[in-house]
Structures are given as structure tokens and as C-alpha cells.
Amino acid sequence: MSGLGTNPPPFLACTAELRHSVTEFLQDFAVQQAQHDAREGRELRQAAVALTITEVGPGADLPGLNQPEFWSSEPALILTRRSSQLRNHPGQWALPGGRMDDGESAERAALREMSEEVGVNLQEEHVLGRLDDFITRSGYIMTPVVIWGGAGLLTTANPEEVASVHRIPLAQFARQDAPMLSETSTSDAPILRMPVGDDHIAAPTAAILYQFREVCLFGRHTRVAHFEQPEFAWR
């Protein structure tokens, strides 16, 4: 599980062909939903996160990633750095998302959080499907929702929640050195990280990104719920 043994597919542009491919892979994937009492008998809170496919555009603005000279049509996912002023997980890598309101579906919550956090307003017809629920050490059931943002998408960070917005090329998730696994004394399962430029992203976000890669880009039905999270993500 140290990475791809073959050449990654060419993620050349954010096109209808890519949308069709991701949609077909998701339709063929049997989503696993978590139970509310699945971890230590706790009542877990419901949250949704958005995996929004768009263009690299002006670039990711991260060390180790080339900055395009012009607007790039290479496909990417939108990730954020959380504001340092937040009580929970300040400064950490994240997908746009948050707690679901009463009676709200994961799809509606993911779309709402995209609007609130990064100023992107999309509709339910842009939703392509779901990935597996992931139970976090901090007490949430995270439901990942895959969304098609398409070309020309512009973002505006909400400074109360988001320190910065980054467009990570899909090719980064297909790197030969991904995923990065490390042993931990807190669990029999390894901690999973995903490299991005010269940096890395830790689980739970990394576990969701890894499953996105496996399911949406390669059509492989890889499960990730067993991966451990670093202790800084438990709070």
C-alpha cells in the first residue's frame, strides 16, 4: 500500500470526460455508512465534507508545486487551511465542511459549507456521489460528498473559518510516494498521510483524500475507515 506501481492516468483537464469517469466510478462503489455508536459507545455528531473538483486555475500556492504562468485547466480539489482562531483543529488542513444541521442531508450540508467557507455556490445537480463515512477521534461521523465544480470556479475565503484556500492538482494524489504510512503506539493500524508538494496532510482528511484517489480516479474499491489519526487530530 505504498503507492501506485503503474503510471498514473493523465489528469489533463477539468472536462466532461473526467466528470463522466468519476461519476461512473462512484455509481459502481458500494458506500459504507457508519453507525452512531460505532466507537466506544459515544454519541457521534454528523458532519459532511466537500471534495470539489475544479481547475488548478491560479495554482495551489504551496512549496513544491509549480505555479502556473497562466490560468491552468488541470483538474484539482479545493482544500483549506483552517483559521488559527478556531477552537477546534486550528491551522490544520481540511476539506470544506462542517456539522450537519437537523434534518439536513450530507449533500446539502457539503454544498452549504462550500458557500460559507470558500464562497462557492453550487447546486445539488453538481453532486456526483459519496464516499465511505469516516469516524474521527474527535467524535464525528464525516460523510465525504464528491462535487463537480467544473471550469472557471472562483473562491473567496471566509476569514472567520479559513486562513487560506488551495487548489491541489489531482495528480498530487496519484504520486508514487502516496500514501505515507507510519506506525503508532495508540493503535494497531498505521497513521495515514498524503504528500502534497513539500508538505503532507494527515488523517482524517488524508484518509478521505486517499479513498477519493482510489475510487474516483482509479476505480478501486479501497476502504480507509481502519486508518489511525495523529493525536493532534483527536481534539
Residue-wise burial string across 94-133, b where 16 or more C-beta atoms lie within 10 A, e elsewhere:
bbbbbebeeeeebbbbbbbbbeebbebebeeebbbbbbbb
Collapsed DSSP state (helix, strand, coil) of residue 225: coil
Whether 4 is in a domain gets the answer no
- The stretches of the chain forming alpha helices (DSSP H) are 16-27, 106-118, 205-212
- DSSP-assigned beta bridge partners for residue 225: none
Domain count, the chain: 1
Whether 7 is in a domain gets the answer no
Whether 213 is in a domain gets the answer yes
For residue 215, pLDDT beyond 70: yes
What residue numbers bound the domain in which 25 lies? 16-233
Q: How confident is the model at residue 1 (pLDDT cuts 50, 70, 90)?
A: very low
Whether 5 is in a domain gets the answer no
Assess contact for 145 and 107: CB atoms under 8 A: yes
CATH number reported for the structural domain that contains residue 226 in this entry: 3.90.79.10
How do 134-135 and 45-57 pair as beta strands?
A: unpaired
Whether 24 is in a domain gets the answer yes
- Segment 123-144 shows an average pLDDT of 95
Assess contact for 76 and 55: CB atoms under 8 A: yes
For the whole model, what pTM was predicted? 0.91
Write down the number of H helices and E strands in the chain. Answer: 3, 11
* pLDDT tens digits for range 72-115: 999 999 999 876 564 555 558 899 999 999 999 999 999 999 99
Whether 206 is in a domain gets the answer yes
CA distance 181 to 206: 11
* pLDDT tens digits for range 141-196: 999 999 999 999 999 999 888 989 999 999 999 999 999 999 988 788 899 999 99
Assess contact for 228 and 184: CB atoms under 8 A: yes
Whether 74 is in a domain gets the answer yes
Query: Amino acid letter at 145?
Result: V
Residue-wise burial string across 172-186, b where 16 or more C-beta atoms lie within 10 A, e elsewhere:
bbbbeebbbeeeeee
Q: HSE (CB half, 13 Å, CA atoms) of 49?
A: 27
Whether 8 is in a domain gets the answer no
